[in-house]
Amino acid sequence: MSRIGKIPVKVPTGVKISFLNDEIFVEGPKGKLKQKYHSVIKFEDKGAEVIVTRTSEEKQAKSFHGLYRCLLNNMITGVSTGFNKTLIVNGVGYRAEVQGKLLVMSLGYSNDIYVGIPEELAVAVDAAGKITISGIDKQRVGEFAAQIRKLRGPEPYKGKGIRYENEQIKRKVGKSGVK
């Protein structure tokens, strides 16, 4: 058995799950999500929890077992509580602000950078340079955060750039004068 796949998925109150035509449908207070799954995986809905099983012992089926259990768990977490990623903009003159459905950033380049915010995500920026991305789909939240971070990654000498809130930057020692 897969160590992850054999753990039952807890379903909180207010979340509805249905399985139809090799698709998982999850609906909760924050929205709806759907995900296709492979036919070697079977789901048993037992009310307060869902048990994920596989129909064969092939290597691919074993891989799918843990994968679809985690995907289902993430979907349930997303529609009940949601996901957040926090980025920190650090540097002299570096700033970010939200204008409608655009994220406008000044990152030391000659022009400002405009990034369109996807429909299913919410972006908030505070005065201290924190960008908070929130949504119900963990993959989309993480992907959008990675796209923003890639615009100006943190540099190792002064730490300027965009980094995740809990990310540790390995700092390097700068040049020293020759005597």
DSSP state letters, 38-63 = -TTEEEEE-SSEEEEEES---HHHHH
**How many structural domains is the chain composed of?**
2
Nearest to 46 by CA among 9, 13, 4, 81: 9
143 is written with which tokens?
């992907």
Q: Which residues pair with 42 in a beta bridge?
A: 53
pLDDT at 6 over 90: no
Residues 73, 93, single domain; the answer is no
Residues 110, 133, single domain; the answer is yes
pLDDT in tens, 80-96: 999 999 999 999 999 99
DSSP codes of every residue in 113-153: EEEEPPTT-EEEE-TTSEEEEEES-HHHHHHHHHHHHHHSP
Residues 18, 42, single domain; the answer is yes
pLDDT in tens, 100-110: 999 999 999 99
Residues 87, 153, single domain; the answer is yes
Domain limits at 131? 83-164
pLDDT in tens, 157-179: 988 999 999 999 999 988 876 66
Q: How far apart are CA 21 and CA 117, in angstroms?
A: 32
